[in-house]
Each structure stands twice: as C-alpha cells, then as structure tokens.
Amino acid sequence: MAKQGSAIEWTEVTWNPTTGCDQISAGCDSCYALALSARLKAMGSDKYQNDGDSRTSGPGFGVAIHPQALEEPYRWRNPRVVFVNSMSDLFHAKVPLSFVRDVFAVIADTPRHTYQVLTKRSKRLRRVAERLDWPRNLWMGVSVENADVLSRVDDLRAVPAAVRFLSCEPLLGPLDGINLDGIAWVIAGGESGPRYRPMDLTWARGIRDVCQAEGVPFFFKQWGGRTPKSLGRELDGRVWDEMPVAASNG
C-alpha cells in the first residue's frame, strides 16, 4: 500500500468532514490533533476557528461539521485508502446523525476508495449502527489504549461493518484477555510527543501474539518517543505491516 498524502503509516490520505473533539479517556491526554488545531487556528484555517471547552479541548478544537468537505472524495480519481476524521470523531455526540449519514452516503457513492473510520465513542456507534446504511468499502474501528476500555471491542463487534479493526495506540497498558472474535485487523503503537508515556515491550508483544494465534493481521506503527519516528518501528527485529485482505482493493 503506497502512501499518497498522509504521515500515518496505515493509510494514504486523510479526509475531515468534521473537526474538533474533546477528551474522554486516557488515550486523549496527549492528543496530537488538539495541539495541531491550535496552530491551524493561529494560521487562519477556516476549519479551526471554533473553540472548544478549555477543560477538555481548546483553541480551534470545538466540534464543527463541514458540508463543503463532502465533495472532496469525488475529486480523487484514483483509488485511495482514506482515514476519515483524523482531526475529529465522527461519532461525537455533537455530530448530528443526519451528517453521519451524509458522510456514509459519500463513502457508498465512491466505491473506488476504501474508508477507515475510527472512534472512541463506541457506545454511540453501537446505538446508532442500525440506523445507518453500511457501505462495503467502509472499515470501522475503535481505539483501545488499555484494559479499562476493552468494552469498546464488544461495541464494535455489534456493528455490521465489512471490516472491523482496533487501534491500540497509544498503547498504555497490557490488553490481557482481549477477544478478537469478529476483528479483522489490529494496529498498535506507542505515544509520541514531549510528554509521551513509554510503551512496555511486553504490552506490544502481548497483542501481537494474540493476533498471530487468532490469524488477525497486525500492524505495528511505532514505538513513539519525543517524535513519532524517534524510537523506530521494529518489534522483535522486524517491521509488522500486515493489512486486511480487503486492502487489496485500495
């Protein structure tokens, strides 16, 4: 899978029909999007002029929808793997269900692309799933940073997505006992930034070993550190870039 316009190793391009979010769990404590939104606001970017709650988000990170962004995927002629909302959460309570439907409609209408949607708000995802039409080219994932949020995996399992995946990043603790039934892909990685929390080798090995035992593709993104690349990407002497079979159509 060749990257086209994203610094994220497991996707090719990002698309942000919504922006903004707020903190709900430990994985949010060093949110890269929160820091980036403040810079984009200062630069005058139209999408980041809506300030959030200073207790849980901040400058430029108030939740906003961008209907004009719905046209972007139609302009991409060649197939792409698209990460939806790298700067937001599509299932945030402040994103109207009608707009989620609009995003899903664009995905269905551009089947040449493969779309990856990732949320921490798995309860809302599960609650509204039956009220959405699920395109075959949409992969749905949840963030699972430690054992405290393993219930997100159960919520995801209840969703009729063609591909269900986990993002265990930043991995902040062991995921002992994780159940991968119905899960088609797992991403894991450490935290980056000046206040990064180190990832233990045994945590990364643990999730990799479960993936290998269950036959689930495993993608190790990074060890993290002060910068994303500072500690490298190898785990036990190799790079793990496994993808779901469905990636072949991207």
Please report, for the chain, the start and end positions of each structural domain, with discontinuous segments joined by +: 13-17+78-249
> What pLDDT, in 10s, does the model give residues 32-83?
888 888 888 789 888 898 888 877 788 778 999 999 999 999 999 999 999 9
pLDDT of 166 > 70? The answer is: yes
Q: Give residue 249's pLDDT.
A: 43
C-alpha closest to that of 30 among 224, 235, 244, 242: 224
> Residue 5's pLDDT band (boundaries 50, 70, 90)?
low
| Mean pLDDT score, 164-186 | 98
Give the residue carrying structure tokens 């939740």.
Answer: 63
Q: Please state the pTM of the whole predicted model.
A: 0.93
pLDDT of 204 > 60? The answer is: yes
Residue 53 has which token pair?
């709650």
- Residue 208 sits at φ, ψ, to 5 deg, of -60, -45
pLDDT of 172 > 50? The answer is: yes
d(CA 144, CA 175): 9
| Mean pLDDT score, 227-233 | 91
Q: What percent of the chain has pLDDT over 70?
A: 96
pLDDT of 109 > 60? The answer is: yes
Q: Give residue 248's pLDDT.
A: 42
Q: Give residue 130's pLDDT.
A: 98
Instruction: Check: CB of residue 203 under 8 Å from CB of residue 175.
Output: yes
d(CA 32, CA 159): 27
> Residue 2's pLDDT band (boundaries 50, 70, 90)?
very low
| Mean pLDDT score, 235-248 | 87
> Residue 186's pLDDT band (boundaries 50, 70, 90)?
very high
| Mean pLDDT score, 104-120 | 98
pLDDT of 113 > 60? The answer is: yes
